[in-house]
Structure 1
Amino acid sequence: MKISLQGRFKSLTSFEWDNIPQFVVITGPNGSGKTQLIELIYESITYQKTTNKEPTWRLSITGENYAFNEVVYLSGRMGGS
């Protein structure tokens, strides 16, 4: 699979990530863009279904196909009480 971004999404700027394996663990320090990458992928799949606006960025995902109803983005907080 290959992901490439043209333009800017939040703090992410144009990039290309090639030869992505089927299972990926994304790690990094706070503020490095892990959540923004997940949001970018989610937004690219669902954006045109939820708004009439054109995005200022373009994300290309090749090598895999995803339908609008196959994508779920969960946001929450983990940890102790």
Structure 2
Amino acid sequence: MQNYGYVRRFVDLTTMRLSALFTDKAALGKAHVFFDRVQGLQALNFAFQDTFKNCFVFALIGSTFLILILVTEKTTKREVV
């Protein structure tokens, strides 16, 4: 995450919620670990989103040429017969 204000609010809020169960130092550590896990999950989500989008675009382009080849072969076979 690149928005420092959002990260600080998230960690502070999570620390406040966890401080009811753990000491302040442990709650702060757990909040940082939790945020690291959330950040990793979002990074994977964005990475796969771009990957699947790019795969779809190239598959669409490739299938267009394949369909054109099949249509061309079909029309040339009809003309020959």
Would you say same fold, with TM above 0.5?
Answer: no
Greater helix share, 1 or 2? 2
- TM-score, with length taken from structure 2: 0.26
Q: Which structure shows the bigger proportion of residues in strand conformation? A: 1
- The TM-score, its normalising length taken from structure 1, stands at 0.26
